[in-house]
Structure 1
């Protein structure tokens, strides 16, 4: 048996890290900084499935897509209700990280009528936060 084949065989037997219990958190509960034109959001869908909005979501590591409705209450916002449509945000969740998401209000101009470009969803804060799924016994 060649050395390369032996090395490949041995590496195949090596223990892989257990990532099954690893998770991160995406949160909507903190009040964002309105001075930075960031407002709260409501989660309507997670990975394409309808959800009841809650303060935070403990998620497996990897990409997750949120459908969000903005809660911008700025007096300068003059768009029609029909323009206040949900938007998607994809978060690449890492182990032991918490992501605070919100609606960034674009204040570069006055938005009126059916112009829905007045906001975009964003991660406005990221921080270390212990997260682990409970193992089943």
Structure 2
């Protein structure tokens, strides 16, 4: 036990917070913004392989997320996620702060990762962080974001100095920031391909007049168009959203695959590329005219086939947000799947 926390349970809690934050960017799970710098060291038995250690921790994280309702009312069989992160440097402060409460007197430390940078500096659960490197963390909103920005802006080995209130007394806590460099990661959970073609598929009748759709489907067969995100990032393929099919908004909301008559269809597509892959900010991204946010894609849907749609990031134009030059919609994969 450390500061009232069981070490394995604390490690899983911090992992779950970090993982849930990643899922929230995909619209799958909601997480409080309470975790600051989230490299958590795995201390499983030395006899386990790296793969076994990662699997062990991931299983614990998924169990905790499911038990706490992070996936809503989805059954485990219908949970399917595709999480990608680029190679990155991560600052290993290892401090969990309470950003949900008013930080008028500073950020309260809920827990520290055993062996993490915060613990080595001398930070403890219950401390109140009043300032970091001269920047106040009290009396204003966004204190957790300010702490994260300060930590992330420092190089490996950079100096951190905290003004701390502990047991009602002011103290100074300082040390060198430790960073680790993580490889690019691709994590797939569940059978995304199957869900892309089957889960909640909308019928052709929802996309066109019923009589014409039924006749076309009967004569030509049918297939599916899906924007389910299982696209490989190493091929510069990212999430996309189908806004309309042949001029009709598909639905219901949340559907990821749409059944259509076999043949040519015109799609209006929006990109859902993660910010970390782009060279401009959301303000510039959202400055584009509404007519520029969507692009047209024509696809030829074969019978009994699911066509997967993605946003292709144009590597040489990743900083050109004007006119949406940085991306194009593509039909990147076709999978055989019976359409009935």
Q: Same fold (TM over 0.5)?
A: yes
Gaps of 5+ in 1: 1-17, 133-137
**Cα gap change, 1:113/1:127 in structure 2, threshold over 3 Å: closer, same or farther?**
closer
> Does residue 66 of the first structure (1) align with residue 235 of the second (2)?
no
Per the TM alignment, residue 45 of structure 1 is displaced from its structure 2 partner at its CA by 1.1
Alignment match, 2:256? 55
Per the TM alignment, residue 113 of structure 1 is displaced from its structure 2 partner at its CA by 4.7
For this pair of structures, how many residues does the alignment match? 115
Per the TM alignment, residue 35 of structure 1 is displaced from its structure 2 partner at its CA by 1.5
Alignment match, 1:81? 286
Decide which moves more: 40-49 or 78-87.
78-87
Gaps of 5+ in 2: 1-215
User: Which entry has the higher C-alpha Rg, 1 or 2?
Assistant: 2
Q: 1:20 aligns with which of 196, 218, 230?
A: 218
In 2, distance between residues paired with 1:62 and 1:110? 33
Per the TM alignment, residue 101 of structure 1 is displaced from its structure 2 partner at its CA by 0.6
Instruction: Summarize deviations over 1:67-90 as a string: whole Å, max 9, x none.
Output: 111001142331531336111111
**Cα gap change, 1:126/1:113 in structure 2, threshold over 3 Å: closer, same or farther?**
closer
Please identify runs of 4+ aligned residues in structure 1 that moved more than 3 A. none
Instruction: Summarize deviations over 1:3-47 as a string: whole Å, max 9, x none.
Output: xxxxxxxxxxxxxxx961610111111321111111111111110
Alignment match, 1:32? 231
Alignment match, 2:301? 93
Question: TM-score, length-normalised on structure 1?
Answer: 0.73
**Cα gap change, 1:19/1:86 in structure 2, threshold over 3 Å: closer, same or farther?**
closer
**Structure with greater contact order relative to length (CA < 8 Å, sep ≥ 6):** 1
Q: 2:333 aligns with which of 122, 125, 132?
A: 125
Alignment match, 2:82? none
Per the TM alignment, residue 110 of structure 1 is displaced from its structure 2 partner at its CA by 3.9
In 1, distance between residues paired with 2:321 and 2:332? 27
Alignment match, 1:41? 240
| 8 A Cα contact 2:229 2:238, kept in partner | no
Which structure shows the bigger proportion of residues in helix conformation?
2
Q: Counterpart of 2:231 in 1: which secondary structure? A: coil
**Cα gap change, 1:58/1:107 in structure 2, threshold over 3 Å: closer, same or farther?**
same
Instruction: Summarize deviations over 1:46-100 as a string: whole Å, max 9, x none.
Output: 1012234521011101111111110011423315313361111111111111111
Decide which moves more: 88-97 or 45-54.
45-54
Which structure shows the bigger proportion of residues in strand conformation?
1
